[in-house]
Structure 1
Amino acid sequence: MSEEKKPAPAAAGRGAAKKELSEHFKTYKDVWVFIEMERGKVHTVSWELLGEGRKLADKLGVQLAAVILGPPGNDLKQAISDAWSYGADLAYVVSEPLLKDYRNEPYSKALTDLVNTHKPEILLLGASTLGRDLAGSVATTLKTGLTADCTELAIDDDRCLAATRPTFGGTLLCTIFTLNFRPQMATIRPRVMAMPERRDAKPGRVIEFKLSMVEDDIVTKILDFVPDTSTEEAHLAYADIVVAGGLGMGNPGNFRLITDLAAVLGAEYGGSRPTIQKGWISADRQIGQTGKTIRPKLYIAAGISGAIQHRVGVEGADMILAINTDANAPIFEFAHYGLVGDATRILPALTKAFEARLAVRRMAS
């Protein structure tokens, strides 16, 4: 008669711990999206994330919730209304005068308390300046995992969030899982995910939450507000047409060919990471995973090889025209149209052709 084998104490302990962890995770449900609002305006990345969150929630068979923090008023009410139009099933709302301007302390306190009380399975935030600051603070307080600057989100067979992002300087893509902690948190940069279609929808359930904090508890004070529109920084993320150059332009002087074409097309201009590192153009015009993510109707890339970190920043464009002397450059693998040749000769010809075409249109109108 064979003797029954008993599991080793260590193995048995791991099995019990895994079962206990699985039971604990059952208390967490739903997908949450933080709705970023400043000065009464919602950042469009929030609606992009609601569109992505809808897919994740449907895959898990749970509800999609919008998390809205801000001062009482019509702007807050409008944000709640818009959340229904972009796919939310319910909204968690913290309406407090203390939340008029973004400060890490009250926002972190409000979101952390919300999570501890209502236990979401997944929490998504935009990788904006505000979102990055808030996400890091909340994840640290909750002692959970946070995957930053994701380019793709999915649900695996074990109901875990699979968050993909570039790594090693943008040369590789890796998928990260938060296996032993909840909620699973991720930030996604503006324009990485497509904007969902706005639809007429019935209002969902609103769950109001009280912020347990007073002004005297907050060290940070708002002294002044300087809007982005008062600066001269580029706004590449929302441009319909973008013209960009890489090291294949040869030298910084040749970047005039990029700006000339951009001016004719009424476009924004930018460059790859090496051109910023060499000081050819300013850092706010960098395109790619470590710069700006863009989704224009037309993207013209001149002298850019198309490394992974650049690809993930531009592949959402409706149309990509690549110009490169190397017929085997990686950018031709994902560009819609390609021209093999010297960008310093092709760009002036394009500029001249567009000038002539646009002049004819103006005369016809």
Structure 2
Amino acid sequence: MTILIIAEHDNKHLRQSTLNTVTAAQQVGGDIHLAVFGSSIAGVATEAAAVAGVAKVLSFDDASLAEQGSEALSANVLSVASAYTHILAPATSIGKSVLPRVAAKLDVAQISDIIKVESADTFVRPIYAGNVLATVQSIDPIKVITVRTTCFDAAVATGGSAVVEAQAVQTVAQAATFVSRELAQSARPDLTAASIVVSGGRGVGSADNFKIIEALADKLGAAMGASRAAVDAGFVPNDLQVGQTGKIVAPQLYVAVGISGAIQHQAGMKDSKIIVAINKNPDEPIFQIADYGIVGDLFEVVPQLTAAL
């Protein structure tokens, strides 16, 4: 068996999601190859070659791949797909965009968002917002899989000595063209990679009131998140949303403030190692999954907690 992983990076360094996916591939078994796409990515390819457990790095280096558009990436993945038994990618915006195209072209079923590897052809994935775990066995000759990275430890980023091979780049007509990119700037840790996350919900009441959530997050050195209700109400930008339709997180500590804990929110954070809930209503669903619960007015509890830290 030989596994191809679509490596994610920021044109300078590999993202941790790639390392998590390498661990999933190691559990499948077989040789692991990383495919790095982009423009002027020699440094990223070298970093990928150092990842423990990686046997080969395929470098697709061309100006047409600078923005890593899904049409261009999928065409280049397909150009080498026949050499692999498994094609994996993190279950992020890139993986969710590229691999369905690859699976459709290969005429195979995609297996999405796996959280566990049972064997080389059998995987566990959540359905119904995580309320049910489905064990799926694939008989397809090429398994196309996205990986929920929060469920796998990161592979060791050093110690490997993979060979880097330059690949011929396929150029394709793209229906979508890159216009611009706006990056959110924050001194806090990245939400999906943070070891501590403090999230606020509808109970916080307003965008101005989110300052007490920010203060607690800053005191803990944490990333800040929010429920969909808080995002929909305009309290915070949507890049902070945690949940089924937002970001999936699994930090060491997750603090839910003024969040009811609807099933859609739980789908994005219930794998957190320790969950602390602060809410004035003891009957909210969040308390059913919390390791520690504080029943009280968040406007009194959170400032006291922040001051005590």
State the TM-score, normalizing by the size of structure 2.
0.81
Q: Pick one of 114, 129, 132 that aligns with 2:93.
A: 129
Q: Which residue of 1 is the match for residue 42 of structure 2? A: 74
Q: Which residue of 1 is the match for residue 76 of structure 2? A: 110
Distance across 1 between alignment mates of 2:32 and 2:47: 15
- The yes-or-no answer on 1:323 pairing with 2:278 is yes
Change (3 A) 1:130 1:317: same
Distance across 2 between alignment mates of 1:239 and 1:286: 14
- The yes-or-no answer on 1:44 pairing with 2:4 is no
Q: Pick one of 224, 241, 253 that aligns with 2:196.
A: 241
Q: Pick one of 103, 115, 120 that aligns with 1:139.
A: 103
Structure 1 residue 314, shift from structure 2 partner: 2.4
Q: Which residue of 2 is the match for residue 194 of structure 1? A: 153
Structure number, greater radius of gyration: 1
Q: Structure 1: which 5+ runs fail to align? A: 1-28, 355-365
Deviation per residue, 1:90-144 (Å, 9 max, x gap)? 225144434541233442222112112x132x22112333322221221221122
Q: Which residue of 1 is the match for residue 118 of structure 2? A: 155
Aligned residues: 308
AA aligned to 1:113 is S
Secondary structure, aligned partner of 1:239 = coil
Secondary structure, aligned partner of 1:314 = coil
Query: What is the alpha-carbon root mean square deviation over aligned residues?
Result: 3.4
Distance across 1 between alignment mates of 2:44 and 2:115: 29
Change (3 A) 1:329 1:73: closer
Secondary structure, aligned partner of 1:196 = coil
Quick check: 1:324–1:341 contact (8 Å CA) kept in 2? Answer: yes
Structure 1 vs Structure 2: percent identity of aligned residues?
23
AA aligned to 2:261 is G
Quick check: 1:192–1:294 contact (8 Å CA) kept in 2? Answer: no
Distance across 1 between alignment mates of 2:235 and 2:291: 27
Change (3 A) 1:161 1:193: same
Change (3 A) 1:178 1:72: farther
Distance across 2 between alignment mates of 1:226 and 1:80: 25
Deviation per residue, 1:136-188 (Å, 9 max, x gap)? 2212211222233x2513225xx523241243xx2633426363433222223
State the TM-score, normalizing by the size of structure 1.
0.70
Q: Identify, as 1 or 2, the structure richer in helix.
A: 1
Distance across 2 between alignment mates of 1:78 and 1:259: 38
Secondary structure, aligned partner of 1:78 = helix
Q: Structure 2: which 5+ runs fail to align? A: none
Secondary structure, aligned partner of 1:313 = coil
Change (3 A) 1:92 1:242: closer
